[in-house]
Amino acid sequence: MSQEPIMDVAHLGHLELLTPKPEESLRFFVDVLGMTESGRKADSVFLRAWDDYEHYSLQLTAAKTAALGHAAFRARSAQALERRVKAIENSGAGIGWVKDAYGHGPAYRFRDPDGHVIELYYETQWYQAPQALRPALKNQAQRYPARGVNVRRLDHFNCLAVDIQANREFFENYLGFRLTEQIVLDSGEEAGMWLTATNKSYDFAYTKEAHGVKGRFHHITYALDSREDVLRAADIFLEAGVPIETGPHKHAVQQTFFLYVFEPGGHRVEVANAGARLVLAPDWQPIRWSETERKKGQAWGLKTIETFHTHGTPPLPGQSPFENETVEQDDLSEKGIAS
C-alpha cells in the first residue's frame, strides 16, 4: 500500500501585499475589484471578497516597494497545525509564532526555499456582516456588492522561485500539498508547479524566476463565477483605465480563463473563472508540460506576453512595465522580503 496523503492544510487563507501606493491600491481593490474593507491596523487595511468566509483575504500594507508580505494557509484542525509546525521546525525553515495576528489565531511563520514568508494558522474569525452588508440568503457570507468587478473569493497566488523543484518538494513533504501540473524543461529542470490542498486544481503556483532574485511575487488571483464575468471585468478595467497585461484568454495549463492587470502599486492581479473544474481524484497523476508544448502558447493560440516572464514584485530594473517603481535590493532586505 502506498503512503496515505497528508490532509493537514485546509485552504489558502489570505495574502499580505506591500504597496508603495496604499491609497491608490485600496481604491483599486474596493472601487474596481468590488472588495470590501473589513478592518485597519497600523499600516495595513484588510479587505475581503463577498464569498470569503473569513474576516479578510487580503492585507494591504504600506511599504516602500511592492512585494509579497506573506501568504497564509489555514490548517484543517488544531492537531493538524501542530503536526505541520513540528515538521517545519524539523526542516529548519521555521521563523516562529505570530501571536497577535489580525483576524485569526496564532500563526506559525516560516520561509519557503525561495525566501517567501508563509504562515499557517487554524483559529480564525468568521466574517459577521454588518446590517447594511447582510446577504438575502443566509448561506452567503456577505451581500453581493454589485460594484465594479465583484470578485467572489481569493482563489490562488503565484510566486517566482529560482529553484522550482526545491520549493515543490518543500511544500509536498512538509505541508502535504499535491502537485497537479508542472512544466519540465528539456534539460530536466522544473520551470513551473501548481499545487493544491483542496479540490481546486491549484491553490498556488510557482514559476521560474529568470533573474536569479529570490522572494519575488508574480500575481494574486480572485475568482469570478463565469467566463462572462471575466469578460465584463475586462470592459470595466478598460473603462477605469486599469492597465491590462494580457487576456482574457484560456491557459493550456489548468485551463484557467484568465485576465491579468496591474494594480496601482505594481502588483499583477488576475481575475479568473474558477468554475466547474475540480480535481476530485485523491491520487491525481501530475500533468507534465514539456518545453515544446509550452511554446505553443495558450489554449487558443495566444502567445505568452513577454512581461509575464519578467515582471514580478518587487520589480527589477529594466524588467518591468513600471520602470520607475523598481527598487534596490537593499529595500528588499530591509522589508525582510528577500533572504
- Of residues 254 through 293, those in contact with a second copy by CB under 8 A are 254-255, 257, 273-278, 280-284, 287, 289, 293
Q: How many other CB atoms are found less than 10 A from the CB of residue 190?
A: 23
| By CB under 8 A, residue 330 contacts a second copy | no
Dmax over Cα atoms in the chain, in whole Å? 58
CB of 207 to a second copy, least distance (A): 17
End-to-end CA distance of the chain: 40
CB of 116 to a second copy, least distance (A): 22
- Of residues 184 through 223, those in contact with a second copy by CB under 8 A are 198-200, 223
Number of residues interacting with a second copy: please give it, by CB under 8 A.
78
- Of residues 31 through 90, those in contact with a second copy by CB under 8 A are 51, 53, 74-80
Among the listed residues 253, 265, 191, 268, the one whose alpha carbon sits nearest the alpha carbon of residue 222: 268
CB of 168 to a second copy, least distance (A): 17
CA dist., res. 210 & res. 327, Å (int): 17
- The answer to whether residues 176 and 170 touch, using CB atoms and an 8 Å cutoff, is no
CB closer to a second copy out of 84 and 152? 152
CB closer to a second copy out of 74 and 216? 74
Q: Which of 176, 215, 247, 266 binds a second copy (CB under 8 A)?
A: 247
CA dist., res. 317 & res. 322, Å (int): 9
Backbone phi, psi, residue 22, to 5°: -60, -40
Q: Which of 42, 99, 138, 188 binds a second copy (CB under 8 A)?
A: 138
CB closer to a second copy out of 93 and 287? 287
CB closer to a second copy out of 42 and 280? 280
Candidate segments 40-48, 59-67, 182-190, 247-255, binder of a second copy by CB under 8 A:
247-255
CA distances from residue 45 to 2, 39, 107, 228 in whole angstroms, order as listed: 45, 6, 19, 30
The residue assigned the cell 514568508 is 117
- DSSP-derived pairing of the beta strands 58-62 and 9-19: parallel
CB of 281 to a second copy, least distance (A): 5
CB closer to a second copy out of 147 and 211? 147
The letter for the amino acid at 196 is: T
CB of 284 to a second copy, least distance (A): 8
